[in-house]
Structure formats: structure tokens, C-alpha cells
Structure 1
Amino acid sequence: MDETPKTAIRGMIFYVLALLVLGVLAGAVYTIYGHPADPSQQPAAETIPQKAPAPQ
């Protein structure tokens, strides 16, 4: 097998790091702005009906 050029390896590492940074930034933006604009609005977790525990 031929040896992989070092520039290709550097490029792949740069690509993976760039995706990781973009993912972290997207997660931060979602965390900050991903909540309802109206504080009186009910959170989504509270609108999902909970199953009653099974009788024993």
C-alpha cells in the first residue's frame, strides 16, 4: 500500500475538528435559544401524558 500523504491526514483531522466545533456551537445556540419565547408557555415535557404505574 502507498503511504498516505501527510497533507491528507492533516486535512481529515481539520475536517473532524471543524465538525466537532460546529456541533458544540450549535448545541450552545440550541441550549440558549431553544426554549419557548413566552415564559408562561408550558414546557413540552409537561404536555406529554405520563403512564400510570401498573397495579400490583
Structure 2
Amino acid sequence: MDEAPKTAIRGVMFYVLALLVLGMLVVAVYTIYGHPADPSERPAAETIPQKAPAPQ
């Protein structure tokens, strides 16, 4: 009966480690491929028309 808690703790530690590794891989992929292909292209926020101010 002493083996169950050690096995559970080992499993949780493996799960947390796997999540950390997966997170680092996702961040690496996003860092490499998460930028626009054409740096001269305007950001999407600049292409949205702004609401004209109300006349006074």
C-alpha cells in the first residue's frame, strides 16, 4: 500500500513536466511562425476604419 502514493506523485510530476515541455514547444513555434510573412505589411489594427468624430 506504500507504493500507491509514490506512483501517484510520480505520475503527477510526469504530467506537469509534459505540460511544461509542450508549453515551451508551443511558444517556440509561435515565436518562429507567429509573425507576418511580409514585414512591410500593415498591421490589421491599422486597416480598420476609425469612427469619425461627431460634428460639433
Q: Larger relative CO (CA 8 A, sep 6+): 1 or 2?
A: 1
Partner of 2:21: 21
Indicate the percent of aligned positions where both proteins have the same amino acid: 80
State the distance in 2 between where 1:34 and 1:20 align: 20
Give the ranges of 4+ consecutive aligned residues of structure 1 lying more than 3 Å apart after TM superposition: 43-47
Gaps of 5+ in 2: 48-56
Number of aligned positions between the proteins? 49
* Structure with greater Cα Rg: 2
Gaps of 5+ in 1: 48-56
After TM superposition, give the deviation of residue 40 of structure 1 in Å.
1.6
Give the TM-score normalised by the residue count of structure 2. 0.65
Superposition CA RMSD, Å: 2.4
